[in-house]
Amino acid sequence: MLHVIWRRRLPALRLVGFFLCFVPGSVAGQWGLDATMIGQIQRGIDHIYNLEFYDADKQFEAVIVKVPKHPAGHFFKAMTQWWRILSNFDDESQDDRFYRMLETVIDICDGRLEHDAEDVTSLFFKGGALGFRGRLRANRGSWFGAARDGMAALPLVQKAHKLDPSNYDVLLGMGIYHYYADVIPNEYPIVKPFMVFFPPGDRKKGFEELKLAAEKSTYARTEATYFMMQNYFTYEKDYLKAMELARGLTAAYPRNPVFLRFLGRCHITLGQWDEAHLVFSDVAQRHAEGQVGFDRYEDREAQYYLGKYLFMKGQDDEALIHFVKCDEASQGLDKDTASGFQSMANLYIGMIYDLQSKRREALSRYRKVLRMKQFQNSHDEARRYITQPYKRPG
């Protein structure tokens, strides 16, 4: 049975919003800021990736005090808010503040553009603000608002790139667009009708732009590396390279749950289960301690893989505890349909019950799997074990 179950099939407009967004660092070149402010932005970005929001805000607020009519400090402070939202995504109470912060960035940029229509700084920061607004709107189900923001953001960033094509930080935004505008429609054909409104992508060009941004940019290096890691893993199928980048990101930002979970996923895909067990034990422990960003989603995933590891080791009683925790978490997290985690956890629970000679309980779990949406071969396996109780091979 396939063990990598965390990939999501996202709706079309969410995908459109995804590759039109611009991320922390993607718009921060040498935008008329002195060395002190550049250093403050750099430190603030590092704090964001480590989910140290208070420290990040202090750095960006210092920039705002010095240059209140420059969009940089306002934009990156909004990015701190963005990661606050990501760290507890079910809580929508932070959304309005994020939208207001982005509106401030857009207003500042519009004022500057009235005096100079080719102000590269304002073009990029406005494009970034629109892109992020569209991304959150897409994630919250406001598809048409997201698409409008994306269509408004793209020409701004293209114009800025044309005015300053040698800026390596700028290449991140262009690389994201070129790569995903080519890859995503092929992976998800449902997106293709929306692409008539956008220029064609170029997978190879986008990949090279992201690589240059990861190697040579000043502020965009971490985010470009993150995108490269995802691309190597998901689309290029170079798992060893993805692992190398995941190790580097986790070492640089040990408090970031996104990077840590991705490291665990790389271990699993490469069959390195002992290493994966260490990573996901760490994730579960951080959730138990209440560390910022390690929420129920992170713990649910950790519980599943901890259960899978112990099941493979023949430690069925211990594995059952983790699978039950995964199932319980999924019941609270899964909104419209059961996730792959919930389906597979129940399948394994049934298999363990069979091994424990608890046939009635096992059948109940297999039938529960059949009531869920099919994930990989979950229904085939459940039907097989309904017909004949599961027995461990060998």
pLDDT at 17 over 50: no
Q: Does residue 13 surpass a pLDDT of 50?
A: no
Predicted pLDDT at 14: 41
Evaluate if residue 12 carries a pLDDT over 90. no
- Please report which confidence band the pLDDT of residue 81 belongs to, taking 50, 70 and 90 as the band edges: very high
| Positive or negative: CA dihedral 178, 182, 187, 193 | positive
How is residue 349 annotated by DSSP? H
Least confident span in 10-24, 58-72, 145-159, 227-241: 10-24
Summarised one tens digit per residue, pLDDT across range 272-283 is: 999 999 999 999
pLDDT at 3 over 50: no
3-state helix, strand, coil in the chain (%, to 5): 75, 0, 25
- CB-based contacts of 235: which residues, under 8 Å, 6+ apart? 183, 187
pLDDT of the residue at 5: 56
Segment 280-293 shows an average pLDDT of 96
**Which of the four pLDDT bands, split at 50, 70 and 90, describes residue 29?**
very low
Please, are residues 209 and 174 in contact by the beta-carbon 8 Å criterion?
Answer: yes
pLDDT at 50 over 90: yes
pLDDT over 90 at 169, yes or no: no
Q: Kindly indicate the confidence band of residue 43, based on its pLDDT and cuts at 50, 70 and 90.
A: very high
Asked whether the beta carbons of 106 and 129 are under 8 A apart, the reply is yes
Give tens-digit pLDDT for 316-357. 999 999 999 999 999 999 988 899 999 999 999 999 999 999
Half-sphere exposure of 245 (CA within 13 A, CB side): 22
Convert the pLDDT of each residue in 187-214 to its tens digit. 877 767 777 777 888 999 999 999 999 9
Q: What are phi and psi of 134, to 5 degrees?
A: -65, -35
Torsion sign, CA atoms 244, 245, 251, 254: negative
Give the pLDDT of residue 366.
Answer: 98
Q: What percent of the chain has pLDDT over 90?
A: 66
Q: Does residue 313 or residue 200 have the better pLDDT?
A: 313
* Domains located in the chain, CATH noted: 12-237 (1.25.40), 262-387 (1.25.40.10)
Report the distance separating Cα 233 and Cα 248, nearest Å: 15
- Predicted confidence at residue 372, as pLDDT, reads 95
Summarised one tens digit per residue, pLDDT across range 220-243 is: 889 899 999 999 999 999 999 999
- 149: pLDDT confidence band, cut at 50, 70 and 90? confident
pTM attached to this predicted model: 0.86
Between 6 and 40, whose confidence is greater? 40
Q: Which residues contact 246 (CB under 8 A, 6 or more apart)?
A: 229, 259, 262, 263, 266
Mean per-residue pLDDT for 306-317? 98
pLDDT value, residue 30: 53
Mean pLDDT of all residues belonging to the chain: 89
Residue 91 has pLDDT above 90, yes or no: no
